């Protein structure tokens, strides 16, 4: 079984994101970048499946600028066998990413494609479902548990009401929740080894995919600031404030 | 052109966020048609038809629509989409799962999780866990939109008499199969719509200690929330998680107990009207968004809080 894992380079989750003064976006210069957190879970799950002898090859793929290779390298360092970069510039919307990935799926014919359930930069939560639609494959989104039963995958999904279990036939798309597993850290020797693993590079035009954005970003603004609150000295004072000042209880 | 709203329901009742989605949809165009896909869901069709903002209900029934699999729902939405300018649903796990599948089939670049409708093609949506708000304009002729339910008021549930048009079901997608759903039944208000939410974090130390939170929730008729740290540690189940990858809540009162206030948690609650933080670490970032901060050991503060509430003559419901 071959597994394709889609990863994305994003502003590190610990960074306090700031809006640019001219309202054209957020500040990315000299800001720490990392792999999108749930994508780490996606890679981890693929590596676990391979370690269990149920997969033969893991390909890590990303769509983004040249530097996005760092994110692919990280995946290679934790156990992916080879990488693919679809090199782009500027904003690439989830639909365009899904179309580019579709071309790679046609070529590589994986049995499974893993995604993180959502990228923490644009918070779109679309790409996995979109690829699944384009391929007309089953989709198991927000997965917190995966069990492989021959050509069928049993997936527990996190939904608003609690948990849902579905079975999907392979090939299938899975989008991974942060609770799916505990991503490992790459060891130094594996980081060194990863440098020798191949990364194939394509452009969108190599693949014949139009990635022109369809959604124009008109402006980006700071959220409204909350006015500073106060510290209360005791529980009695807190309850009194909630009752008499805020009038919420 | 009209707006097609995809209803979320459980075959018996309309789910509450559908009402918020109908309100949002009616800001895009007042001719709102609701697509109801389900199994033996006649009562839901009737309830939808009675909502004043709904102008028509398209109702499809089939056994394979029972459990809302996106693989079964999307082809029908695509089939009926032709006469509509917008396809809308809520940005909860139902709509997040379904809408991109519809959008990709229609070759539309979806706009997710909008908090405001500026005009029929321009919307505001939070990005970077709500640390920035983007105004975006869709240039696709047809739009696929998911809406953040807590940013729109629920629509009226009466005053209408929309026609119910039966439509034919699409074929079953046989490669995906529903097995089971484990819903946690609770007498408390739903987290997404509760007037008061009290949440616990890693500071709770274990699942048993959430009893301290539950006692106060009962007294205040509040829903119980949690940080991701508390859910990951197994103190409480996933449907309680508030934050960027959990639920977004906007209650009148949000009480954060033993929660440090990571960016990802703040994303899910910082629009709440009044925020209370109880934490023994006076430097915790949660205090920066709190209207009332109490620097205290939660194991002393929570029992006292309950005691003080018991002293009150009345508590708003």
Average pLDDT of span B90-117:
98
In angstroms, rounded to a whole number, what is the distance separating the alpha carbons of residues B59 and B127? 35
Query: Which DSSP category does B103 fall into?
Result: H
ipTM higher than the 0.85 cut? yes
Shortest distance, CA B29 to any CA of chain A (angstroms): 20
Give pLDDT, residue A224: 85
Residue A73 within any structural domain of the chain: yes
Supply B246's token pair.
């959990």
User: pLDDT (tens digit, 9 = 90+) per residue, A33-53?
Assistant: 999 999 999 999 999 999 999
Residue B182 is nearest to which of A17, A163, A215, comparing CB atoms? A163
For B23, phi and psi rounded to 5 degrees?
-60, -45
Q: Which fold has domain B196-311?
A: Rossmann fold (3.40.50)
Nearest to B271 by CA among B159, B177, B88, B149: B149
Question: Closest Cα to residue B225, out of B276, B154, B300, B149?
Answer: B276
Structural domain range at position A43: 2-224
Q: So what's the pLDDT on residue B9?
A: 98
- Provide, for chain B, the percentages of residues in helix, strand and coil under a 3-state DSSP scheme, each rounded to the nearest 5: 30, 30, 40
* CA angle at A88 for the pair A83 and A92, rounded to the nearest 5°: 105
Above 80 in pLDDT, residue A212? yes
Q: Which of B245, B255, B270 to mutate to test the interface with A (most CBs of A within 10 A)?
A: B245
A87: nearest Cα among A71, A73, A74, A68: A68
Q: Residue B113: closest CA among chain A residues belongs to which residue?
A: A124
CB spacing of A165 vs B109 below 8 angstroms:
no
- Total structural domains within chain A: 1
Band of the pLDDT at B313, cuts 50, 70, 90? confident
Q: What is the CB-side half-sphere exposure of residue B199 using CA atoms within 13 A? A: 43
State how far the alpha carbon of A91 is from the alpha carbons of A13, A238, B73, B128, B135, in Å.
Answer: 19, 47, 30, 15, 15
Report chain A residues whose CB lies below 8 A from the CB of B96: 125, 129, 141-142
- Tell me how far apart the terminal alpha carbons of chain A are, to the nearest angstrom: 57
Q: How many helices (H) and strands (E) does chain A have?
A: 7, 13
Q: What is the pLDDT of residue B53?
A: 98
**Would you say residue B248 has pLDDT above 90?**
yes
Residue A240 lies in a domain: no
Partners of B275 on chain A (C-beta within 8 Å) are 226, 229
Which pLDDT does position A213 carry in this prediction? 97
**Extended strands (E) in B139-265:** 143-147, 164-166, 176-183, 196-200, 223-226, 253-257
User: What whole-number distance in Å separates Cα of residue B175 and Cα of residue A112?
Assistant: 14
> Is A205 part of a structural domain of the chain?
yes
- CA dist A245 → A44, B194, B221, B304, B311 (Å): 50, 21, 20, 20, 17
For residue B64, the Cα-to-chain-centroid distance in whole angstroms is 25
Q: Which residues contact B170 (CB under 8 A, 6 or more apart)?
A: B60, B72, B75, B76, B79
User: What is the model's pLDDT at position B185?
Assistant: 81
pTM of the model: 0.95
- pLDDT of B317 higher than 80: no
Residue of A nearest to B291 (CA): A229
* Structure confidence by residue, pLDDT tens digits, B160-190: 999 999 999 999 999 999 999 998 888 899 9
Which single residue is written with the structure tokens 């002729």? Answer: B141
Q: Name which of B112, B252, B275 is nearest A125 (Cβ-Cβ).
A: B112
Taking every pair of Cα atoms in chain A, the longest distance, rounded to a whole number of angstroms, is 68
Six-digit token string for B240: 């309680």
Contact B175 A169 (CB under 8 A): yes
Q: Are A93 and B109 in contact (CB under 8 A)?
A: yes
Q: Where are the domains of chain B?
A: 2-166, 196-311
Closest residue by Cα to residue B40 from B70, B67, B79, B77: B67
- Sequence-ordered list of residues with C-beta below 8 angstroms from that of B169, at least 6 positions apart, any chain: B60, B61, B62, B64, B65, B76
Please state, in angstroms and rounded to a whole number, the distance separating the CA atoms of residues B140 and B198: 42
Q: How far apart, in whole angstroms, are the C-alpha atoms of residue B141 and residue B215?
A: 52
**How far, in Å, CA of A40 to CA of A180, rounded?**
10
Residue contact A231–B136, C-beta within 8 A: no
CATH number, residue A182: 3.40.50.620
d(CA B60, CA B208): 45
| Matching fold, domains B2-166 and B196-311 | yes
* Chain B residues within an 8 Å CB radius of A11: 128
CA B161 to chain A, closest CA, distance in angstroms equals 30
As a whole-number percent, the residues of chain A with pLDDT over 90 amount to 97
Question: Between chains, do B109 and A235 touch, taking CB under 8 Å as contact?
Answer: no
Measure in Å the smallest separation between the Cα of B220 and chain A Cα atoms. Answer: 7
pLDDT given for residue B187 in this prediction: 87
Please give the pLDDT value at position A174: 98
Q: Any idea which of A62-76, A118-132, B134-148, B181-195 has the lowest mean pLDDT?
A: B181-195
CB A45 within 8 A of CB A114: yes
Tokens standing for B160?
């209408």
Domain B2-166 adopts which CATH fold?
Rossmann fold (3.40.50)
Cα B119 from chain centre: 23
Quick check: is A243 in a domain? Answer: no
* Cα–Cα distance list, A22 to A101, A122, B135 (Å): 33, 19, 14
CB B140 within 8 A of CB B126: no
- pLDDT the model gives residue B316: 83
pLDDT score for A245: 95
Let me know: does B74 contact B173? Beta carbons within 8 Å: no
Residue A235: inside a domain? no
What is the percent of chain A with per-residue pLDDT over 70, rounded to a whole number?
A: 100
């Amino acid at each position: 079984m071959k597994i394709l894992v889609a990863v994305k380079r994003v502003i590190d989750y610990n960074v306090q994101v700031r809006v640019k003064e001219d309202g054209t976006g957020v500040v990315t210069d000299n800001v720490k970048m990392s792999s999108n957190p749930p994508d780490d879970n996606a890679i981890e799950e693929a590596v676990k499946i391979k370690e269990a002898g149920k997969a033969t090859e893991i390909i890590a793929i990303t769509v983004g600028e040249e530097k996005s290779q760092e994110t692919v390298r990280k995946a290679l360092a934790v156990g992916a066998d080879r990488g693919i970069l679809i090199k782009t510039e500027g904003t690439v919307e989830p639909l365009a990413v899904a179309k580019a990935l579709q071309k790679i799926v046609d070529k590589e014919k994986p049995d499974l494609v893993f995604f993180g359930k959502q990228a923490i930069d644009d918070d779109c939560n679309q790409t996995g479902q979109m690829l699944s639609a384009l391929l007309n494959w089953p989709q198991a989104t927000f997965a917190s548990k995966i069990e492989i039963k021959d050509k069928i995958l049993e997936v527990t999904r996190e939904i608003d009401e609690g948990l849902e279990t579905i079975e999907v036939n392979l090939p299938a798309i899975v989008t991974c929740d942060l609770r799916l597993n505990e991503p490992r850290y790459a060891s130094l020797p594996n980081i060194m080894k990863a440098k020798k693993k191949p990364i194939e590079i394509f452009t969108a035009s190599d693949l014949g995919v139009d990635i022109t954005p369809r959604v124009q970003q008109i402006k980006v603004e700071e959220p409204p600031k909350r006015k500073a609150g106060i510290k209360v000295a005791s529980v009695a004072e807190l309850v009194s404030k909630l009752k008499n000042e805020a009038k919420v209880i | 052109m009209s707006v097609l709203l995809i209803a979320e329901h459980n075959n018996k009742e309309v789910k509450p966020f559908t009402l918020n989605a109908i309100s949002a949809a009616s800001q895009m165009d007042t001719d709102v048609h609701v697509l109801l896909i389900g199994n033996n869901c006649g009562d839901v069709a009737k309830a939808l038809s009675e909502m004043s903002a709904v102008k028509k209900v398209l109702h499809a029934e089939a056994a394979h629509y029972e459990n809302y699999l996106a693989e079964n729902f999307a082809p029908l939405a695509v089939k009926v989409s032709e006469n509509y300018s917008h396809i809308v649903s809520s940005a909860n796990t139902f709509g997040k799962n379904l809408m991109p599948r519809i959008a990709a089939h229609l070759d539309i670049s979806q706009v997710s999780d909008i908090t405001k409708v500026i005009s029929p093609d321009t919307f505001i949506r939070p990005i970077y866990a709500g640390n920035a708000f983007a105004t975006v304009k869709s240039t696709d002729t047809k739009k696929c939109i998911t809406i953040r339910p807590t940013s729109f008021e629920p629509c009226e549930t009466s005053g209408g008499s929309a026609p119910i048009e039966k439509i034919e079901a699409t074929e079953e997608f046989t490669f995906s199969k529903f097995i089971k759903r484990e819903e946690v039944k609770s007498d408390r208000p739903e987290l997404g719509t509760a007037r008061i939410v009290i949440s616990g974090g890693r500071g709770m130390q274990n699942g048993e200690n959430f009893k301290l939170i539950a006692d106060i929730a009962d007294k205040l008729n509040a829903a119980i929330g949690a940080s991701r740290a508390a859910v990951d540690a197994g103190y409480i189940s996933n449907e309680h998680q508030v934050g960027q990858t959990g639920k977004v809540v906007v209650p009148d009162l949000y009480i954060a107990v033993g929660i440090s206030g990571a960016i990802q948690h703040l994303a899910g609650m910082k629009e709440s009207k009044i925020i209370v933080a109880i934490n023994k670490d006076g430097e915790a970032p949660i205090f920066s968004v709190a209207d009332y901060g109490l620097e205290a050991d939660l194991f002393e503060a929570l029992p006292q809080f309950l005691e003080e509430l018991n002293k009150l003559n009345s508590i708003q419901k």
